[in-house]
Amino acid sequence: MTEKTDRMIDQPIIVVRDVWKTYRTGQVEFTALKGIDLDIAAGEFTAIMGPSGSGKSTLMNILGCLDRKDRGTYTLNGTSITDMTPNELAQIRNREIGFVFQSFNLLPKLNLLENVELPMIYADINRRERNERAHEALQMVGLIPWAKHRPNEISGGQKQRAAIARAVVLHPALLLADEPTGNLDSQSAGEVMKVFTHLNQAGSTIVLITHEPEIAAYASRTVTFRDGRIIFDTSGLNAPCQEGA
Protein backbone atom coordinates (compact mmCIF):
# COMPACT_ATOMS: atom_id res chain seq x y z
CA MET A 1 0.00 0.00 0.00
CA THR A 2 1.33 3.41 -0.88
CA GLU A 3 0.53 6.26 1.48
CA LYS A 4 0.29 9.81 0.25
CA THR A 5 2.24 12.22 2.43
CA ASP A 6 0.86 15.68 3.08
CA ARG A 7 2.08 18.22 0.58
CA MET A 8 4.69 20.47 2.15
CA ILE A 9 5.89 23.90 1.19
CA ASP A 10 9.06 23.67 -0.93
CA GLN A 11 8.67 19.91 -1.18
CA PRO A 12 8.93 19.04 -4.86
CA ILE A 13 5.73 17.50 -6.15
CA ILE A 14 7.68 15.85 -8.99
CA VAL A 15 11.10 14.27 -8.54
CA VAL A 16 12.48 12.59 -11.68
CA ARG A 17 15.94 11.00 -11.57
CA ASP A 18 17.87 9.55 -14.51
CA VAL A 19 14.78 8.51 -16.46
CA TRP A 20 15.33 6.62 -19.73
CA LYS A 21 12.82 5.42 -22.30
CA THR A 22 13.41 3.40 -25.47
CA TYR A 23 10.65 2.58 -27.97
CA ARG A 24 10.97 -0.67 -29.91
CA THR A 25 9.05 -1.19 -33.13
CA GLY A 26 10.06 -4.45 -34.80
CA GLN A 27 13.85 -4.34 -35.17
CA VAL A 28 13.99 -0.57 -34.74
CA GLU A 29 14.89 1.00 -31.40
CA PHE A 30 14.60 4.67 -30.59
CA THR A 31 15.73 6.13 -27.28
CA ALA A 32 13.34 9.02 -26.64
CA LEU A 33 14.57 9.94 -23.12
CA LYS A 34 18.24 9.81 -22.18
CA GLY A 35 18.64 10.38 -18.47
CA ILE A 36 16.10 13.03 -17.49
CA ASP A 37 16.48 14.74 -14.08
CA LEU A 38 13.68 17.12 -13.17
CA ASP A 39 12.29 18.58 -9.93
CA ILE A 40 9.06 20.55 -9.94
CA ALA A 41 7.83 22.32 -6.81
CA ALA A 42 4.20 22.40 -5.74
CA GLY A 43 2.57 25.49 -7.23
CA GLU A 44 5.04 25.88 -10.09
CA PHE A 45 3.87 26.61 -13.66
CA THR A 46 6.39 24.97 -15.99
CA ALA A 47 6.46 25.10 -19.79
CA ILE A 48 8.24 22.31 -21.65
CA MET A 49 9.60 23.35 -25.05
CA GLY A 50 11.75 21.76 -27.72
CA PRO A 51 11.56 20.51 -31.30
CA SER A 52 9.17 17.84 -32.47
CA GLY A 53 10.47 14.38 -31.55
CA SER A 54 12.64 15.62 -28.66
CA GLY A 55 10.82 13.53 -26.04
CA LYS A 56 8.38 16.03 -24.51
CA SER A 57 5.25 13.89 -24.82
CA THR A 58 7.18 10.79 -23.76
CA LEU A 59 8.13 12.49 -20.49
CA MET A 60 4.60 13.81 -20.01
CA ASN A 61 3.16 10.31 -20.46
CA ILE A 62 5.53 9.05 -17.78
CA LEU A 63 4.69 11.97 -15.45
CA GLY A 64 1.00 11.19 -16.04
CA CYS A 65 1.47 7.47 -15.29
CA LEU A 66 0.21 6.68 -18.80
CA ASP A 67 3.46 4.97 -19.77
CA ARG A 68 6.40 3.30 -18.06
CA LYS A 69 10.01 4.35 -17.98
CA ASP A 70 12.76 1.79 -18.61
CA ARG A 71 15.14 3.13 -15.98
CA GLY A 72 15.33 5.75 -13.25
CA THR A 73 12.93 6.90 -10.55
CA TYR A 74 9.85 9.08 -10.40
CA THR A 75 8.21 10.30 -7.21
CA LEU A 76 4.86 12.07 -7.46
CA ASN A 77 3.50 13.93 -4.44
CA GLY A 78 5.52 11.72 -2.09
CA THR A 79 4.61 8.43 -3.77
CA SER A 80 7.26 6.44 -5.63
CA ILE A 81 5.90 5.51 -9.07
CA THR A 82 8.12 2.49 -9.58
CA ASP A 83 7.05 -1.16 -9.60
CA MET A 84 3.37 -0.30 -9.45
CA THR A 85 0.72 -2.54 -10.89
CA PRO A 86 -1.42 -1.15 -13.74
CA ASN A 87 -4.28 -0.95 -11.26
CA GLU A 88 -2.28 1.12 -8.77
CA LEU A 89 -1.12 3.39 -11.60
CA ALA A 90 -4.72 3.93 -12.70
CA GLN A 91 -5.65 4.91 -9.14
CA ILE A 92 -2.81 7.42 -8.88
CA ARG A 93 -3.77 8.80 -12.27
CA ASN A 94 -7.39 9.31 -11.29
CA ARG A 95 -6.62 10.79 -7.90
CA GLU A 96 -3.56 12.93 -8.55
CA ILE A 97 -3.48 13.99 -12.20
CA GLY A 98 -5.59 16.08 -14.56
CA PHE A 99 -4.90 15.85 -18.30
CA VAL A 100 -5.51 18.35 -21.08
CA PHE A 101 -4.75 17.27 -24.67
CA GLN A 102 -4.40 19.14 -27.96
CA SER A 103 -7.46 17.32 -29.34
CA PHE A 104 -9.70 18.10 -26.30
CA ASN A 105 -10.92 14.46 -25.96
CA LEU A 106 -14.47 15.42 -24.93
CA LEU A 107 -17.14 12.75 -25.43
CA PRO A 108 -19.31 13.94 -28.35
CA LYS A 109 -22.61 12.46 -27.14
CA LEU A 110 -22.41 14.08 -23.71
CA ASN A 111 -23.10 17.74 -23.04
CA LEU A 112 -20.45 19.84 -21.30
CA LEU A 113 -21.92 19.33 -17.84
CA GLU A 114 -21.93 15.55 -18.35
CA ASN A 115 -18.39 15.60 -19.73
CA VAL A 116 -17.17 17.46 -16.65
CA GLU A 117 -19.10 15.08 -14.35
CA LEU A 118 -17.49 12.00 -15.87
CA PRO A 119 -14.32 11.80 -13.72
CA MET A 120 -16.54 12.16 -10.64
CA ILE A 121 -18.64 9.16 -11.70
CA TYR A 122 -15.43 7.08 -11.78
CA ALA A 123 -14.55 8.51 -8.36
CA ASP A 124 -17.95 7.44 -6.91
CA ILE A 125 -19.09 10.95 -6.05
CA ASN A 126 -22.84 11.21 -5.60
CA ARG A 127 -25.12 12.81 -8.17
CA ARG A 128 -25.87 16.00 -6.28
CA GLU A 129 -22.23 16.76 -5.50
CA ARG A 130 -21.24 15.90 -9.08
CA ASN A 131 -23.73 18.39 -10.40
CA GLU A 132 -22.61 21.10 -7.99
CA ARG A 133 -18.92 20.63 -8.64
CA ALA A 134 -19.36 20.41 -12.42
CA HIS A 135 -21.26 23.71 -12.33
CA GLU A 136 -18.48 25.31 -10.27
CA ALA A 137 -15.84 24.08 -12.71
CA LEU A 138 -17.81 25.33 -15.74
CA GLN A 139 -18.32 28.66 -13.97
CA MET A 140 -14.57 28.95 -13.46
CA VAL A 141 -13.96 28.62 -17.23
CA GLY A 142 -16.91 30.84 -18.20
CA LEU A 143 -19.05 28.11 -19.79
CA ILE A 144 -22.22 28.05 -17.68
CA PRO A 145 -24.35 29.28 -20.63
CA TRP A 146 -23.07 26.29 -22.66
CA ALA A 147 -23.49 23.62 -19.97
CA LYS A 148 -26.26 21.80 -21.82
CA HIS A 149 -24.60 22.00 -25.23
CA ARG A 150 -22.61 19.23 -26.85
CA PRO A 151 -18.97 19.69 -27.93
CA ASN A 152 -19.88 19.98 -31.65
CA GLU A 153 -21.96 23.09 -30.87
CA ILE A 154 -19.10 25.15 -29.44
CA SER A 155 -15.76 26.60 -30.60
CA GLY A 156 -12.33 25.02 -30.17
CA GLY A 157 -11.42 27.45 -27.41
CA GLN A 158 -14.64 26.63 -25.56
CA LYS A 159 -13.96 22.90 -25.96
CA GLN A 160 -10.52 23.30 -24.46
CA ARG A 161 -11.91 25.31 -21.54
CA ALA A 162 -14.46 22.54 -20.94
CA ALA A 163 -11.62 19.99 -21.06
CA ILE A 164 -9.74 22.03 -18.43
CA ALA A 165 -12.86 22.13 -16.24
CA ARG A 166 -13.04 18.33 -16.52
CA ALA A 167 -9.31 17.98 -15.74
CA VAL A 168 -9.47 20.01 -12.51
CA VAL A 169 -12.87 19.02 -11.14
CA LEU A 170 -11.33 16.46 -8.74
CA HIS A 171 -8.63 18.96 -7.63
CA PRO A 172 -5.63 16.96 -8.88
CA ALA A 173 -2.20 17.55 -7.39
CA LEU A 174 -0.82 18.00 -10.90
CA LEU A 175 -2.26 19.37 -14.13
CA LEU A 176 -0.56 18.13 -17.33
CA ALA A 177 -1.27 19.76 -20.69
CA ASP A 178 0.23 18.52 -23.99
CA GLU A 179 0.10 21.30 -26.62
CA PRO A 180 -3.28 22.53 -25.30
CA THR A 181 -3.34 25.52 -27.67
CA GLY A 182 -2.01 23.63 -30.71
CA ASN A 183 -5.42 23.58 -32.44
CA LEU A 184 -6.52 27.07 -31.45
CA ASP A 185 -6.43 30.54 -33.00
CA SER A 186 -4.43 33.06 -31.00
CA GLN A 187 -7.44 34.70 -29.32
CA SER A 188 -8.83 31.35 -28.11
CA ALA A 189 -5.31 30.33 -27.08
CA GLY A 190 -5.06 33.50 -24.98
CA GLU A 191 -8.37 32.71 -23.27
CA VAL A 192 -7.23 29.16 -22.52
CA MET A 193 -3.93 30.44 -21.12
CA LYS A 194 -5.84 32.87 -18.87
CA VAL A 195 -7.59 29.85 -17.35
CA PHE A 196 -4.26 28.09 -16.71
CA THR A 197 -2.86 31.29 -15.18
CA HIS A 198 -5.89 31.61 -12.92
CA LEU A 199 -5.57 27.97 -11.81
CA ASN A 200 -1.87 28.43 -11.10
CA GLN A 201 -2.55 31.57 -9.05
CA ALA A 202 -5.07 29.52 -7.07
CA GLY A 203 -2.31 26.98 -6.28
CA SER A 204 -2.36 24.40 -9.11
CA THR A 205 0.91 22.85 -10.23
CA ILE A 206 0.96 22.91 -14.04
CA VAL A 207 3.27 21.30 -16.60
CA LEU A 208 2.45 22.44 -20.12
CA ILE A 209 4.08 21.41 -23.40
CA THR A 210 4.16 24.00 -26.15
CA HIS A 211 6.01 24.88 -29.35
CA GLU A 212 5.18 28.55 -29.05
CA PRO A 213 7.28 31.03 -27.06
CA GLU A 214 4.23 33.31 -26.58
CA ILE A 215 2.47 30.43 -24.82
CA ALA A 216 5.54 29.46 -22.77
CA ALA A 217 5.69 33.09 -21.62
CA TYR A 218 2.62 32.48 -19.43
CA ALA A 219 4.65 29.99 -17.36
CA SER A 220 7.10 30.97 -14.64
CA ARG A 221 9.71 28.44 -15.78
CA THR A 222 10.71 26.95 -19.14
CA VAL A 223 12.50 23.61 -19.55
CA THR A 224 13.86 22.95 -23.04
CA PHE A 225 14.32 19.48 -24.52
CA ARG A 226 16.50 18.33 -27.39
CA ASP A 227 17.12 14.75 -28.52
CA GLY A 228 15.83 13.20 -25.31
CA ARG A 229 17.74 15.48 -22.95
CA ILE A 230 17.05 18.69 -21.05
CA ILE A 231 19.35 21.27 -22.60
CA PHE A 232 18.12 24.36 -20.75
CA ASP A 233 16.07 25.22 -17.67
CA THR A 234 15.27 28.82 -16.75
CA SER A 235 15.16 27.83 -13.05
CA GLY A 236 18.87 27.06 -13.26
CA LEU A 237 18.29 23.67 -11.62
CA ASN A 238 19.49 21.70 -14.64
CA ALA A 239 22.89 22.73 -15.90
CA PRO A 240 22.98 22.84 -19.70
CA CYS A 241 24.22 19.59 -21.22
CA GLN A 242 27.55 19.56 -22.94
CA GLU A 243 27.47 18.87 -26.67
CA GLY A 244 27.97 15.19 -27.36
CA ALA A 245 27.67 14.31 -23.67
Ligand X SMILES: Nc1ncnc2c1ncn2[C@@H]1O[C@H](COP(=O)(O)OP(=O)(O)O)[C@@H](O)[C@H]1O
Binding residues vs ligand X (CB under 6 A): 23, 25, 30, 32, 50, 52-58
Q: Residue 23 touches which of ligand X, Mg ion, none (CB < 5 to 8 A by kind)?
A: ligand X
Which of 78, 182 has the CB closer to ligand X? Answer: 182
Site for Mg ion in 24-83 (CB under 5 A): 57
The least distance separating ligand X from the CB of residue 45, rounded to whole angstroms, comes to 19
Rounded Cα distance, 123 and 130, in Å: 10
CA distances from 40 to 147, 167, 220, 229 (A): 34, 19, 12, 16
Binding-site partner at residue 142 among ligand X, Mg ion, none, CB < 5 to 8 Å by type: none
Tell me the closest approach of the beta carbon of residue 1 to ligand X, in angstroms.
31
Handedness of CA 159, 164, 167, 168 (dihedral sign): negative
Judged by CB under 5 A, does residue 224 bind Mg ion?
no
Residue closer to Mg ion, measured from CB, 46 or 57: 57
In this complex, which beta carbon is closest to Mg ion, that of residue 21 or of residue 130? Answer: 21
Least distance in Å: CB of 242 to Mg ion? Answer: 25
Element (H, E) at 159: helix 156-168
| Shortest distance, position 107 Cβ to ligand X, whole Å | 24
With vertex at residue 239, the alpha carbon angle to CA 238 and CA 240, rounded to the nearest 5 degrees, is: 110
Centroid of chain to Cα 147? 24
Helix 156-168 vs helix 186-201: angle between axes, to the nearest 10 degrees? Answer: 20
Instruction: Tell me which residues touch Mg ion (CB under 5 A).
Output: 57
